[in-house]
Structure 1
Amino acid sequence: MRKLCTLQLFSASRVEMFRPIRREELREAVKSIKESAAARDVVDVSEKVGEVIEDMICRIILGRKRDDRFDLKRIVQETLSLAGAFNVANSLPFLRPFDIQVNGKEIDELLETIIKEHEEAQAVLQKMQHKDIVDILLSCLKDSHNDEQNPVKDQTKIKAILLDLLSGAIDTSVTVSLWVFSELLKNPRVMKKLQHELENIVGKSNLVDEVDLPRLTYLDMVVKETSRLHPVGPLLLPRVSTEDITINGYYIRNKSRVIVNVWAIGRDPKIWSDNVEAFYLERFLNSNVDLQGKDFQLIPFGSGQIGCPGMQLGLIDVKLVIAQLMHCFNWELPQGVSPDEVDMTKKFGLLIPRANLLVALPSYCLAE
């Protein structure tokens, strides 16, 4: 499965192939927010960021935007909520046939419809397309009889992969982006420095392009510091030790289940000094610590062979959304709200998103 993700679904060439989708969706979002700015309306940032990221990811994975026939966002959120909840059927196996705690039927119908539509489109064209990830998986299925190592053996496997991708992409990217936005509104000095970097590198009359991202070092520090303070998930997926081992005086028996607490690592004063609760970007100045999983003090995407295979795509989505919205607009809090009063309440679960909506007043600032 990891080989499939690394070589077929999220390779550098695939990520590049989806660039026009990201560009189109972000331009639509900028246009929508620009209209609100002209009317001096307060914008629901949670809604706008959620919509643009959901549309980008749905087009990349499914080849379509949100579908009125299915409330995809709700289905994904329910799946994540149930995945992080106590499952009654695990303790009372006789309840499993009654399906009392899963929304599997609704998910199955959604994915079945999408796969069928892709197959019909390919039958009309009489050739395999690679416009989105469903197309790629159907191509892998067609070739599976020639490759015993191919994990895509049937449509059930395709559905499972699609559900994993949707669950692991939409809410995680939205959660990170909204925490970045929250910290920038709470720290106007940081927001202004980021906008100054964008103006110098991108230009006052240009939209941000993906080729600009590697040069945006201050944006990179913003995302790192946000990931330290607000990891998407407080705990990484469970690991299992493959041998008896002693680490720092702790004996870990073979086949023990180990859960890494990245939330606690990000607030360890032995690693980050005594100001661990502060949003302090300067801790990353002249530092080689990155988000790739090689530096264990900052591993929000995991590390090693079971790190997140879609990390690169996710980081591009987050950075591009934040950079574009910060470059095109000045953002102010609603009247009467000071930066110190920005609501940072968390909603705890498998992920840690904001508990409440984030709203702000935009003003368009690019040269016409």
Structure 2
Amino acid sequence: MALEDYVPRQWQVLATTLLLAMLLLPLLSMLLVAAARASPNSTGTRNKLPPHPPGLPILGNLHQMGALPHRSLWEMAQRHGPVMMLRLGTVPMLVVSSAGAARDVLKTHDADCCSRPDTPGTRRLSYQHNDVAFSPYSEQWRERRKLLVVEFLSKRRIQATWYARETEVGKLVSGLAVASMNGQEPVCLEDHVFGYMDGIVGTVAFGNMYGTEHFAHKEHFHHVIDEAMVVRSSFSAEDYFPNTLGRLVDRLTGVASLREMVFKEFDAFFEMMLGQAKPDNAGCVGLIDVLIRLMKEQQQGSFTVSRDVVKGLLTNTFIGAVDTGAVTIIWAMAELVRNPHVLNKVQNEIRTMVGNRERVQQDDVAKLKYLKMVVMETLRLHPALPLLVPRETMRHITVSGYDVPAKTRILVNAWAIGRDPTNWENPEEFIPERFKGEEDVNFNRAQFEFLPFGAGRRMCPGIDMGLATTEFTLANLLYCFDWELPEGLRSEDMSMEEAGGLTIHKKTRLLLVPTRYKCGSAS
């Protein structure tokens, strides 16, 4: 068996880092001790730094992050407080785990800490920071974000692309209906839902040609997306040791070569799409058509829509939309099956509203108040990104009375905030009714005890599209089928363990038995 079967890859990398750094230990220790001491700020007084848990020489607190960092950091916050300063390698990292501290970061000092850290992996996969999600703050970033929102994520575009959701949900229902003909045979819901999400995002991004013969290599691209998610979330020594040591470790462990391989496969696929897209064609116009037109016009606002900008935005579209949407749908279905009284209540609401029609339609969704509560409760318990994408301070700020120097990375633990007992009664229980009266919550008006999409300038721009797709999909799954666990498995025994990196999946696959609801018909 391979070494990976016995020792997790993260610990292999950390061990290699430690061994390679042994010769530098005396020098590094002196430097780190000096850096840890409180330094004078611009007024000449000493900084009041947040609590900082003790760490190891060289590694700092890296070894304490664990396989599920959001849980490890939450446990550390129980001992050291909701505002902690860690040292990950040579990098200072502020970890925020309370609504009040999150407000300081995401609202009070939003303009001072809305940048992103410049790390090798994100730099390469974003085409030298030509994307929206991972690029440092700049005027060009503002223009790219505006472009992505207007041309892909706006309410106008959501309305214009409902046909894609309706088409793909028809395929989803048909596939599950065929599977349900096998009696009590369970189906793996992930296999159906991830393909469905890919179909929606692909059609909106690339128009009607997505799924045609032009995309014969689409299955391979799915594999590349999976690998890109691994690269985004995996440990890279150079992220925490931005020097020769970090580069050497990444080369020895294969992290650098995997990153380069994924980049080249992404790039080859995007080059193929750019070569085959026809912006002036009739029919559905995708995001790529708009971007090609703007690229030919050269200027959009104050920045050039270059080929790398087009690829960077397409990368965000697939990595950001497919995985997070599918993960939320799977967690929602898992919680509903574990809580049959909630499942019955939401199905009754949907079926009463829809009547005997074939499927749930677009106009029905806005009227399904309890369904919206179910989605919100799912996002509270299972935010797709439990740790918001790291920020970096551009200037000295204060958080909960503590001083935070410039060039400090900031992690907001949205998962911990969503389960904080000071904000939520019985926080570990799935109770959609806690959102009664807030079904029409405006996520753009940040509520800092509930941050599934973040807040401030770096708030997820895909909120409206994500919610529209999630609610529409769940409504049809719950209307068209009755759902049961496989024979012999009780709801209280169902595993809800987590796995993953950047996004958090259900560790064990969700196997359910669908039975076609008699008032619907297979499409």
Structures share fold, TM-score greater than 0.5: yes
Aligned-partner Cα distance in 2 for 1:57–1:127: 20
Aligned-partner Cα distance in 2 for 1:293–1:82: 32
Letter in 2 for 1:135: D
1:149 and 2:306 are equivalent in the alignment: no
Residue 129 of structure 1: how far off its partner (Å): 7.2
Q: Who is 2:312 aligned against?
A: 160
Q: Who is 2:293 aligned against?
A: 139
- Of 104, 111, 133, the match for 2:263: 104
Listed one character per residue, the Cα deviations across residues 12-43 of structure 1 (whole Å, up to 9, x for unaligned) are: 11111111111011111111211222331322
Contact 2:236 2:250 in 1 (8 A): no
Residue 144 of structure 1: how far off its partner (Å): 2.4
- Of 53, 56, 74, the match for 2:223: 74
Residue 150 of structure 1: how far off its partner (Å): 4.2
Give the SS at the match of 1:215: coil
1:212 and 2:364 are equivalent in the alignment: yes
- Change in Cα spacing, 1:324 to 1:151, as seen in structure 2 (3 Å) is farther
1:12 and 2:122 are equivalent in the alignment: no
1:301 and 2:453 are equivalent in the alignment: yes
Residue 79 of structure 1: how far off its partner (Å): 0.9
- Change in Cα spacing, 1:293 to 1:227, as seen in structure 2 (3 Å) is farther
Structure 2 stretches lacking a partner, 5+ long: 1-143
Q: Who is 2:84 aligned against?
A: none
Q: Who is 2:232 aligned against?
A: 83
- Of 225, 229, 232, the match for 2:381: 229
Contact 1:61 1:133 in 2 (8 A): yes
Q: Who is 1:312 aligned against?
A: 464
- Between Structure 1 and Structure 2, how many residues are aligned? 360
Contact 2:485 2:513 in 1 (8 A): yes
Aligned-partner Cα distance in 2 for 1:284–1:325: 22
Aligned-partner Cα distance in 2 for 1:302–1:85: 22
1:55 and 2:199 are equivalent in the alignment: yes
Residue 87 of structure 1: how far off its partner (Å): 1.8
- Change in Cα spacing, 1:128 to 1:142, as seen in structure 2 (3 Å) is farther
Aligned-partner Cα distance in 2 for 1:129–1:158: 21
Q: Who is 1:45 aligned against?
A: 189
Greater Cα shift, 43-52 or 198-207: 198-207
Aligned-partner Cα distance in 2 for 1:181–1:201: 20
Contact 1:244 1:254 in 2 (8 A): yes
Letter in 2 for 1:7: V
- Change in Cα spacing, 1:365 to 1:239, as seen in structure 2 (3 Å) is same
Letter in 2 for 1:143: E
Aligned-partner Cα distance in 1 for 2:416–2:179: 40
Q: Over alpha carbons, which structure has the higher Rg?
A: 2
Task: Kindly report the root-mean-square deviation, in angstroms, between the aligned alpha carbons of the 2 structures.
Answer: 2.2
Aligned-partner Cα distance in 1 for 2:170–2:153: 23
Residue 292 of structure 1: how far off its partner (Å): 3.7
Contact 1:128 1:139 in 2 (8 A): no
Aligned-partner Cα distance in 1 for 2:381–2:294: 39
Letter in 2 for 1:144: Q
Residue 304 of structure 1: how far off its partner (Å): 1.8
Listed one character per residue, the Cα deviations across residues 185-237 of structure 1 (whole Å, up to 9, x for unaligned) are: 11111111011110122223341112211111111111111111111111111
Contact 1:224 1:290 in 2 (8 A): no
Give the SS at the match of 2:483: strand
Contact 2:154 2:464 in 1 (8 A): no
- Change in Cα spacing, 1:283 to 1:171, as seen in structure 2 (3 Å) is same
Aligned-partner Cα distance in 2 for 1:38–1:170: 28
TM-score, normalization by structure 1? 0.91
Aligned-partner Cα distance in 2 for 1:151–1:128: 26
Aligned-partner Cα distance in 2 for 1:142–1:129: 21
